[in-house]
Chain A
Amino acid sequence: MLDVVTAPPETRVAPRAAMRSAKALTGNIAVAQAIRQINPHVCAAYPITPTTQIMQEVAQFVADGLMETELVPCESEHSAMSACVGASAAGARVITATSANGLALMWEVLYIASGLRLPVVMAVGNRALSGPLNIHCDHSDSMGARDSGWIQIYAETAQEAYDNILQAVRIAEHPDVLLPVMTCMDGFLTTHTSENVELLGDAEARDFVGAYHARYSLLDVDNPITYGPNDLPDSYTEHKYQQVLAMQNAARVICEIDKEFGERFGRSYGMIDTYCMEDAETAIVVLSSTAGIVKEMVDTLRAEGRKVGLLRPRVFRPFPAQELVDALKGLRAVAVMDRALSFGAEGGPLFTEVQSALRNAECGAPKVVSRVFGLGGRAVARDEIREIYDELDSDRPVKFRLVGVRE
């Protein structure tokens, strides 16, 4: 689906090198600026709302001579991810962007990228995976890809979406990881909403990501290699185990790189974000931009004397089970707000992961309930969040319900 909205011209101008600048930027434009600064060897992409604008801006930067990137406009997302895989196997640093059905069309190639250990970075603007046709925000697209072997990081704000892309390049390419990374932000709510974003100076951004030296390159004809040979039952399990370990290593590497980013630029996020959790008795767990409105309700309820808190997992793969358990153990009740369904499951995908982490921890686990909200871009009202906190104070909150569904 083509998105022909063009960014205002002033946002296309590159900030002067080595200068930080705070600007009102949408998530898409902020991410495009990060990609310009990273200046990857290759961007292969196909447009889809609500992330079209990212590669549209990148194309403009390339045309204006602000990037040296080889931009490959493809005929579908399947081709786009295939081109990313090919370019990465050739030794290139590769970044792309997509959403919803575009991500779905990439599906089989997502597994090729992770299985071949190719550190591709992809910005995802979360959007409902139709049908019926819906282009608005929910997490059904990236939640479906949660088992594809990609690292997944979810941003609350446009600032974080920008910072995440810069960090993602380092995480993906780390020798102990070598896995592709998806950096997700809420479609329209973050991709198209202007927020204050502080861009790094070009020089410090490039210095942070550094140069990329691929372990293997298909273009190195003096050292011939084979990518993607037949991997039979004799050896497939060993390769999958290497991926399991890489995902475990990623938890450490994500924290190290986030810490370094914080020391250099003053912003760091950790695996999880917590708000008023120190003495909380009940809490909501939610991903991405919704955390903002929940924090506001926490303030309101705290002013009324209620001990409520919020936990936002920033990283979903690898799942920060230990951090969650440490923050949630001892609470009376927790509501996990999922912006995606897992039809036939006990609750949303984030809920089942949180519940499983708490059950395995055997730590006086709180009661956990599933609240699915915001499907296809349905706004969640402040009163609906208050109601969820109220339910957590009741004796027997229902295990699962869809917030705001009309009878």
Chain B
Amino acid sequence: MIDVKRGGWKSFPLGGVIPEGGTSVAYLTGEWRGGGKRPLLNLKACVHCLHCWISCPDSAILINGGKMVGFDYEHCKGCGMCAQECPPMVKAITMVAESQFGATL
């Protein structure tokens, strides 16, 4: 993976090409939540319909054995789409201010 913040021009592939696949995993978009909100799951209420999983633009909904188990906070940008799409009768996801959690991802 190229270090775009510290690498020099000699280390960059020409034309800004990213010469390998799957590199978005290494790009921690979780930082983008900044002072915004993060989603929290009420696992007891969740009916595992996976509406949140299909709506999340960052593939940040963690699934295990076909069931919703939580969030990948290193990549969750805090957009709130999962909370919005969780069915109205369920509402298992709430968006909570980052200030509640200190400086951790």
Contact = CB atoms under 8 A, between A and B. Distances in A.
B4 A234 contact: yes
B102 interface: no
A118 B17 contact: no
Contact of A226 (B8, B12, B17): B17
Interface in B1-18: 4-5, 7-9, 12, 14-18
A119 to B, nearest CB: 11
B15 A115 contact: yes
A231 B9 CA distance: 13
B17 A225 contact: yes
A228 to B, nearest CB: 7
Q: Is the interface of A mostly helix, strand, loop or mixed?
A: loop
B17 A115 contact: no
A227 interface: yes
B19 A239 contact: no
A181 B77 CA distance: 42
Nearest to B24: A226
Interface string B15-29: 111111111000000
A154 B30 CA distance: 52
A117 interface: yes
Given A234-B4, A234-B5, A235-B4, A116 B17 contact: yes
Interface of A: 115-118, 178, 215-216, 223-229, 231-232, 234-235, 238-239, 241-242, 246
Given A115-B15, A216-B19, 4 more contacts: A116-B17, A178-B14, A231-B16, A238-B9
15 contacts: A116-B16, A117-B14, A215-B14, A216-B17, A225-B17, A225-B19, A226-B18, A226-B23, A227-B15, A227-B16, A235-B5, A238-B7, A238-B8, A241-B9, A246-B14
Interface of B: 4-5, 7-9, 12, 14-23
